[in-house]
């Protein structure tokens, strides 16, 4: 069966045919490709067509598909069994490896997804501070937990409402929404909700509604305001962690959060999430502390073995290569786009993340996004797909560079674009 037939069949058995909504190619006027295989920088679909992959499973595969050392680690771990629900050495070694390399982290707890990590961080922040409200920014994504499926309300300023059915208004009341970059709004919220705010949650490099780069001053101001109000600053580094350097944006900006959440890269393509921070906060978690958190498959040995080797391969040289090769990709794409009807586009890049967007304006919050971006993205995505270039299938998703982008892949990209 080809991709189209498989998708038609999938629609019968699975809601919308997919197990995560962005995979549905909604609004892209074509059916999703069923992927059969990946190797290095490439994926192959069930129709036998191959693509240069700039989605990389939405980030985790920083070394590309089937990295031989990660594969070997997975197989080796697998041969001893794949879950014990008990202590094992891979997660200990990974914890030690991370704690020894990221200065503000003294302890880490592993779980199985980014959503779980943020969910734990929300509960932990509330448990530590004894307060119930959290601040979230418009345009940041933190996974699909109820507390984060909240958007700015259509009524009075400062009100919020659920962005998904099934989330109660009670939950919406506890999440306060601000616009990225607007420190005055954050200050006002702290005054209006004095001694009620447990934490500010932010993607320090917002990369889930396009790439909305924030200034260091803004992040620093959030740090200060949290300190002044005894609230916690939580960096959600599920995308940026181990990508913008090993220590993510915390390391890059020198601004230290109280808690950090990880996912995606941390598992090297296997399901892993984590919450980390100083011991004084992490010890609030069960079994030591009063904040409950658990997981049958947490610290899964196969996943941790993959994650550990994956992290060990992220040397200083690896980051230089990652950023250099991504910059080359962006340049090649820009040249082609400028001469082929996409002059209205710019590509915003930060390290190995890039985002083609149909405006030349500077963008730092979601109110600035161009109105026609979905239609414009559809045109770009369609041509790219035909040419064997796989972009993340949504206008709001960034492109992910990887260490599989060798020079010959970039040559191939040129060929595919210009032919």
Which residues are identified as catalytic? 141, 236, 264
d(CA 26, CA 191): 41
* Residue numbers at the binding site for ligand PLP (CB under 6 A): 113-115, 118, 141-143, 203, 208, 236, 238-239, 263-264, 273
Q: End-to-end CA distance of the chain: give it in Å, rounded.
A: 29
d(CA 405, CA 41): 6
Nearer to ligand PLP, 119 or 413 (CB): 119
Q: Residue 227's CB: how many other CB atoms inside 10 A? A: 12
CB neighbours of 344 closer than 8 A, spacing ≥ 6?
358, 359, 360, 376
Nearer to ligand PLP, 59 or 301 (CB): 59
Nearer to ligand PLP, 6 or 134 (CB): 134
Nearer to ligand PLP, 109 or 264 (CB): 264
d(CA 161, CA 150): 6
d(CA 206, CA 249): 11
CB of 141 to ligand PLP, least distance (A): 5
CB of 241 to ligand PLP, least distance (A): 9
CB of 124 to ligand PLP, least distance (A): 15
Residue 238 · residue 398 · CB < 8 Å? no
CB of 23 to ligand PLP, least distance (A): 12
CB of 140 to ligand PLP, least distance (A): 7
């Amino acid at each position: 069966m080809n991709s189209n037939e498989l998708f038609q069949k999938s629609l019968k058995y699975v809601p919308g045919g997919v197990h995560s909504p962005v995979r549905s190619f909604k609004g892209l006027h074509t059916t999703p490709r069923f992927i059969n295989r990946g190797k290095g920088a490439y994926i192959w679909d069930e129709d036998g067509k191959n693509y240069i992959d700039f989605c990389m499973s939405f980030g985790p595969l920083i070394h590309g598909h089937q990295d031989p050392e990660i594969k070997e680690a997975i197989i080796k771990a697998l041969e001893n069994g794949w879950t014990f629900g008990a202590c094992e050495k891979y997660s200990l070694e990974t914890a030690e490896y991370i704690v020894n390399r990221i200065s503000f982290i003294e302890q880490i707890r592993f779980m199985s997804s980014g959503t779980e990590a943020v969910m734990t961080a929300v509960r932990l922040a509330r448990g530590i501070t004894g307060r119930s409200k959290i601040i979230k920014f418009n345009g940041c994504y933190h996974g699909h937990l109820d507390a984060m499926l909240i958007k700015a309300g259509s009524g009075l300023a400062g009100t919020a409402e659920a962005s998904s059915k099934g989330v109660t208004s009670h939950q919406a009341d506890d999440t306060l929404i601000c616009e990225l970059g607007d420190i005055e709004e954050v200050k006002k919220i702290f005054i209006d909700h004095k001694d009620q705010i447990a934490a500010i949650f932010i993607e320090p490099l917002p990369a889930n509604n396009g790439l909305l780069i924030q200034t260091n001053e803004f992040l620093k101001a959030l740090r200060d305001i949290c300190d002044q109000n005894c609230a916690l600053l939580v960096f959600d580094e599920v995308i940026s962690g181990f990508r913008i350097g090993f220590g993510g944006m915390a390391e890059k900006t020198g601004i230290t959060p109280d808690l950090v959440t990880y996912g995606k890269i941390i598992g090297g393509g296997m399901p892993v999430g984590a919450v980390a921070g100083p011991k004084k906060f992490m010890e609030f978690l069960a079994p030591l502390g009063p904040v409950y958190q658990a997981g049958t498959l947490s610290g899964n040995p196969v996943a941790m073995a993959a994650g550990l080797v994956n992290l060990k391969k992220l040397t200083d040289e690896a980051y230089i290569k990652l950023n250099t090769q991504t910059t080359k990709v962006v340049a090649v794409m820009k040249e082609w786009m400028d001469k082929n009807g996409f002059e209205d586009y710019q590509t915003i890049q930060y390290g190995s993340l890039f985002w083609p967007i149909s405006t030349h304006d500077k963008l730092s919050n979601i109110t600035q996004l161009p109105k026609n971006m979905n239609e414009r993205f559809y045109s770009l995505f369609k041509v790219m797909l035909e040419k064997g270039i796989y972009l993340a299938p949504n206008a709001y998703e960034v492109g992910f560079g990887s260490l599989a982008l060798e020079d010959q892949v970039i040559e191939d990209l040129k060929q595919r674009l210009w032919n």
